[in-house]
Each structure stands twice: as C-alpha cells, then as structure tokens.
Structure 1
C-alpha cells in the first residue's frame, strides 16, 4: 500500500484540516464534533441543507458546502457513517429558523444516524425533513443497504435542492424538489481495480488483471457481474442500458449526463466514456442538454467510473444553472 498519509487513525481529521486551510473563504470547520459549514452560516431566512456520510468519497460531501448547495457536511470515518452527535451539531449550527433538509445516501448506517439526529433536533424545536437518495440501478439490498444504494446522483440532488433553498423556497418545497430529482435520476458504475481503506492496509476486494466489476458500489460492494475487460464503448453500453431502461428514459427526453470518476481514472478516459454515452443517448432520441464530467463521488483510489442520467424539465434546468460557489462546483458568481 502506498498512500500519502501519516497515521491511518488521523486521515479524516488531517484531511478536513486541509479543507479548512484551502477553502477558508468558503467554509468553517468545527472539530469537536467534526463537521464543515458554509462561512456565512446560518443564513437568515433560508432553509439549510445538511448531508454527510463516510469519508473516502471526496469531494462528496465537504466539497459541496457553500453558496447554492450545502450549508453543512458531516464526514464520518472512511466508509463509515458519522454518528448522530456531529449530525445534530451541524444541524443546529446551520438552522436559521426556516428548517433543515437532511440529504442522506441510502446506506443503513447513514439512514439510522441521520434519523436519530433529526429526532433529537425536533426535540430542540428544529423542523427537519429528510430525503434519502437511492439512484443506483445495479442491485437491491446490497451489503450496506436495504433497497438501492445512493451514489453519484446525490451530487445532483444536493445542487438542485441547494439552488431551490438559495432562491428562498420553503422547507416543504425544497424537500419536494429534492424528492423529484431523486425520482428522475439513475446511476450505475464499474470498477477496474479495488481501493485500499487506510486502516485496513489491503484491497477491499480482488479483481484479476483482466477482470472488471459491473455495478460496483462506492464502498467496493459487489455489483451485478464480474467479466473480462472490454473496450470502453462496450462497457458504457453495459451500464447505460440498465439506466435508460429503469425509469425508463424515452425519445424526446432532455437529460443531464454525468460521467463520474471513482478516484483513480484519468480525465482522458472519462471523456472517452462520456463521448459514447452521449452518442448512445442521442441514438435513442434522448437529448443531452446539461453535462458534468469529473471525479465528484469517488471511492478512494479505485479505477472506474459511473454514469448518471437525470431527466430534466425547465425548472430543474434553471436550478441546475443557478449560481453555485463551493470548493468542487462553482459557476455563475
């Protein structure tokens, strides 16, 4: 194992300290308990958005804290949910009286701990709504999950709901927008290599040199099948097919196409896969009107990628285009 770390026990603390120094204009980091908030939190009269989960998926979630997106992010240990205490502390820190929306990826630990924190916040008079993201079409009832996993579609939920909150929507309206995005977004991924969790010191699973895992989870959970590696276009077709068939997406739809790297995939390869995904959608009469390509929901140093497709309408497009200023996404300001 070769990693740029010191003590494996301090990886999250030291990384978050780095975030605080690198993005001091955007965020403030609290260390006991640990969470990240936007610099101007709480924002008077605005619904606050809080998300979080295990570390190792950066820039998710801390990289999306700032204007037009999240008000707070709560990092847990690598691939492990944060406990209710920091979630509650973050919720209190960003509440301005307009209520708080929790955006939670569908993993059992995340769901339970955010639920506990929401109950405790309610006891303190804070109104909380929760939207659980479950966009992964690969499998149901996976290693960490009852139902479908929450993966790269989480970024789109956070961005669009964040824009709704920023324009002044009510808590119910922001929760409704987030729910709508989750209902219209689908994702699936593939792994070319495993990743190494720092405290484990060995790969989280094994793949032969000529094997890939179709439908991998962002913690290295098993996917649909393990096959011999194929050309990029064939792999794209394998994972895009189930995505398109799921809602299903249809000719005439306008969509956002998001190709996400798992942490160890060069950008040049992501653009190769994006090109063919765009072509396949076009061949089905599905028009790509918005795009995102890059490493946004990673699995440490895993080589691989995921494809996410979101069905757009005028309102979702407007909210996607709205200004955002975070460490990992910024435009329009």
Structure 2
C-alpha cells in the first residue's frame, strides 16, 4: 500500500495545515486542542452548529465548516472520536450568545464524548443541545446502542446550517435536526477495505470477489459478506433495504438545558410511501470513481420512480468517506417544503459553494 504521507503520526495535523492554507479565506484551524472554525465566528445572535468525529471521513466534517453549514468541526485521530476538551473549546470559540447545537453520529465514542462536552459547556454557561443522528438501516445495537449515524449527518449539517444562518432559535434548529434525522435512512457496501496510515495494512480482509453489505464507515462489518454481483442488483439490495424499512422506534438521551440533566426521549420515524418527495444521496466511500456512482444513481432513480417516490434533489459524490475504501452508500431523505428551501439556501465552505 502506498500513500502520500510523511510521518504517519503527523497525518491529521499536516492534512489540516494544508486545508488551512488552501482555504484561509473561509476557515481557521486551532491546535491544542484541535478544531476548525469559521473565520467570521462567533456570529452574534446566531445559533452555532458543531459536529465532529474521527478523521479519515473527509470532507466530513472539516470540509463543511463555513457560511450556511457548520460553525466548527472537531476532528479526532483516524477513526477515533475527538475529545470533550476539543468540543468544549470549539463551543467557546463560536458561541455567539444564541446557543450551540452538537450534531452527533451514533457511535459509542462520539456519543460519550459529546455528552461530556455538553455537560462541560453547560457548566461554562453555554446553552447547548445535543442531537443524535442514527440513520443506518443495516445493523442495530452493534457498535452502538441503536443504529449507526452515517449519510444523513451530512444532509442535517446543510439543512440545519441554513436554518441557523436564517436566525432560527436554538430550539427551532434542534427540532429541525431531529426531524431531518427521523426522515433519513442509509445503507452502504464495501468492495475493499481501507488502510489506516499508522498500520499500513488493510483494516479487514475481503476475497477477490467478495463484498461486505451494510458496512460501517470505520470498516465495521455489516449484515453479511457475499459475492460481488452487477451494480443493478447491488443498488436494488441497498435501495429496497431502505425503502422497505418499517417504522422504527428508538429511545435517545437528550439534554435538558433548564435542569442540567439528561432525559430519555422516544422518537419514531415512518417508512417511505408512494408520493414522498426525497433527496437521493449516492455517496462514494473514498475510492470509487464518480462514473460508478452515476451508474448507482441511474438504477436508484429507476427504483424510486417505479415506487412513485419523487427525487426532487440529489447529491452524488464522495462526502462521507472511509479513507480509500471502494464502495458506496445510499441515503434517502424525505423532504418537505421547508427542508427543500433550506437545502437550496446559500452555502460557502471548502467543499460546497452555491448561491453566493
């Protein structure tokens, strides 16, 4: 395995330094503790949105810091959760007085550390809410309590970022983020493993003609391992797993700002139905050519049309990756008028720029 790196221990820092040099007009990177924030943060009176997770999934989250999306992002080491002190420092740096939303993927380390950061921020007088993303239909109660958080995270960051930019209150942004999560479902496949720079060997082994169905973004196993098949059959497997997923009830922990404690909240998402309007997101895992992603989208669009589900927005590209893993994921998000308007709203980050 060959990689364009120097010392593997410097991988994350040097990548961030390159990002800072390339996008000095948009972002600033703080080290010790490490976080990326908007150049114009804090914005007085604006709800600040922060997310984060292990590095190796770029452009998520660092590439989405900027106007119309995240105010800050906290990168951990490769596939390792960031620490509570990173999250607290980010909140202190970008809080403009209207409060902070932490958008958290449902992985055990991320959940634990963001919960600790929420308590620390509360003790510092910062109004903060913590919203979980758990949209992966492939597995449940494996590596997480409930479902893993994957592609809907990216969509929530855009939609909620636009809402915060428009002056939504802290509770309004939190309610919207929760609704986006309940409206999205995802599932992915891996055609190959990825290689963590510190180890320089594959994270897992796949045979020459094997694939992993329902893979996690850190290389966690999915539903099953099987032989490679034509793209149309793979897309059908993923799409139908999402479209035929039944109503799902989960209990999540949310933060009570007034009383400074956690409470259990029961949430239910409803299945997709004929007549729904959706955003279809075909995501590359880092090593998949865009041409192959369009082959995936071609079949996905056909399946949705045959089921009477209207794709009104789409996103095709590698936005939540697993280093150089070959494979893809599909995320379908049920949209309403408000979400469509916020998706279309201006954004200016290292990864996305439109409407400005």
TM-score bin, normalised by smaller chain: over 0.9
**Residue aligning to 1:121:** 121
Where do 5+ consecutive residues of structure 2 fail to align? Answer: 246-269
Does residue 243 (structure 1) correspond to residue 242 (structure 2)? The answer is: yes
Which of 301, 307, 318 matches 1:284?
A: 307
Specify the SS of the correspondent of 1:291.
Answer: strand
**Residue aligning to 1:198:** 197
**Residue aligning to 1:272:** 295
**2: CA distance between counterparts of 1:250 and 1:96?**
40
**1: CA distance between counterparts of 2:301 and 2:22?**
35
**Residue aligning to 1:25:** 25
Alignment of 1:127-206 (within 5 A): 127-143=127-143, 145-206=144-205
> Greater shift after overlay, 293-302 or 195-204?
195-204
Does residue 4 (structure 1) correspond to residue 27 (structure 2)? The answer is: no
Q: TM-score, normalised by structure 2?
A: 0.92
**1: CA distance between counterparts of 2:89 and 2:19?**
19
Does residue 318 (structure 1) correspond to residue 317 (structure 2)? The answer is: no
Q: TM-score, normalised by structure 1?
A: 0.99
**2: CA distance between counterparts of 1:183 and 1:245?**
15
C-alpha displacement at 1:147, in angstroms? 1.1
Which of 306, 318, 325 matches 2:329?
A: 306
**Residue aligning to 2:75:** 75
**Residue aligning to 2:213:** 214
**Is the 8 Å Cα contact of residues 142 and 221 (structure 1) preserved in structure 2?**
no
Deviations 1:170-197 (A, max 9, x none): 0000000000000000000000000011
Specify the SS of the correspondent of 2:173.
Answer: helix
**Residue aligning to 1:56:** 56
> Greater shift after overlay, 180-189 or 238-247?
238-247
**2: CA distance between counterparts of 1:141 and 1:8?**
33
Does residue 327 (structure 1) correspond to residue 350 (structure 2)? The answer is: yes
Specify the SS of the correspondent of 2:36.
Answer: strand
**Residue aligning to 2:263:** none
C-alpha displacement at 1:217, in angstroms? 0.3
Runs of 4+ with >4 A deviation: none
C-alpha displacement at 1:245, in angstroms? 1.2
C-alpha displacement at 1:204, in angstroms? 0.6
